[in-house]
Amino acid sequence: MTGEVLRARSVTRKFGDFTAVDSMSMTVAPGEVVGLLGANGAGKTTLIRMLLGLLAATEGAVELLGGPPDRTRRARMGYVPQNLGLYRDLTVEENLAFSAEAYGVPVPGVPAELHDARNTLVRELALGSQRQVAFVVALAHEPNVLVLDEPTSGVDALSRARLWDTIRQQADNGVGVLVTTHYMEEAQQCDRLLLMSSGQLVGAGSEDDIIGDTRAVAVHTPEWAQAFAALNDAGIPVILDGRAIRVPDTDPATIDSVLDSAGIAADIRPVRATIEERMLVLARAGAHG
Ligand SMILES: Nc1ncnc2c1ncn2[C@@H]1O[C@H](COP(=O)(O)OP(=O)(O)OP(=O)(O)O)[C@@H](O)[C@H]1O
């Protein structure tokens, strides 16, 4: 198919006085996997719900498969919401049969890994297996667009890799995919990224584009615990990753001075920020501004 599968044109959604999505524009083309990033509450789910016609926009317009997200177009999309949208009191097979009936398509096969669980109630399955069922349900009618809201949240690494194989296969077959994630390794598997903060689009493109000129400082010291405490006490946005200390968006001289005052010798090196650090900087700017 040609043309974008999803498009938002300056779309805004307000809840009372609160603006959850603020004049957001974006697209997803067939065959691409677009990652939608943003801290909790950034507006990702609200945007998705508008794109899929599940929530009205306050201003602006959305397009699903080239037009308004009406019933006919919605029948050509697959959606795995955060809560999975499965019938928890039905078995795996009953869920597959029910959704196939609703779409008027043949009942999909139960994946081999879930064969032994085919007669188990969905609510009794591990979260990873539930997510797999939700994927099978979402894909049964061969949608042209796939929207996945944190599809691998809370699942183990193997199930996550499996779900990503499925996502990539779908894109290779021409499906346009929009996926929200909190895992940065997953963001790196996307063809393109969109970063939202406080309802707005604040970055787009590759990982490098998203990070922009945000810098961080890496602090190495055997006294890492004391260094972390000293920086934290000074109100500096410090991140502990194992024993490595990272400080986004802060002047190395400030860090030097805090550690010096605390009597801690450290190697202080300016480095490029990560996507998470960029998000932390944005979240702090939002909270303070
Ligand atoms: N129905 C609603 N009524 C009032 N406020 C809402 C409603 N739905 C969402 N919000 C608010 O809009 C903001 C954006 O929420 P949204 O769920 O879109 O964020 P998100 O980026 O998807 O977050 P998460 O990563 O936690 O899912 C939040 O502050 C949320 O509380």
Domains of the chain, earliest start first: 6-210 (3.40.50.300), 215-272 (3.30.70.790)
Tens of pLDDT, residues 14-41: 999 999 999 999 999 999 999 999 988 8
The ligand 1 atom nearest the CA atom of 18: 5
Q: How confident is the model at residue 2 (pLDDT cuts 50, 70, 90)?
A: low
Question: Is residue 49 in contact with ligand 1, taking CB distance under 6 Å?
Answer: no
State residue 283's pLDDT score.
79
Q: Which residues contact 158 (CB under 8 A, 6 or more apart)?
A: none
Beta strands 200-205; 215-220: pairing state: unpaired
At 77-104, the pLDDT tens digits run 999 998 888 999 999 999 999 888 888 8
Contacts (Cβ under 8 Å, ≥6 apart) of 164: 152, 186, 189
Q: What is the pLDDT of residue 248?
A: 93
Q: Is the CB of 38 under 6 A from ligand 1?
A: yes
Distance (Å) from CA 258 to ligand 1 centroid: 38
Q: What is the pLDDT of residue 185?
A: 81
Ligand 1 within 6 A of CB of 44: yes
Is 15 near ligand 1, meaning CB less than 6 Å away? yes
The stretches of the chain forming alpha helices (DSSP H) are 44-51, 71-74, 92-103, 127-139, 157-172, 184-187, 207-211, 224-233, 252-261, 275-288
CB atoms within 10 A of CB 236: 17
Nearest CA to ligand 1 atom 18: 43
Q: How many Cα neighbours within 13 Å face the side chain of 15?
A: 8
Helix runs in 104-156, H state only: 127-139
- 179: phi then psi, degrees, rounded to nearest 5: -135, 130
CB 27 near ligand 1, within 6 Å: no
- Residue 286's nearest CA partner among 202, 191, 173, 164 is 202
Query: Residues 144, 176: contact at Cβ < 8 Å?
Result: yes
Q: How far is the CA of 223 from the centre of ligand 1 (A)?
A: 40
Average per-residue pLDDT for the chain: 91
pLDDT value at position 288?
58
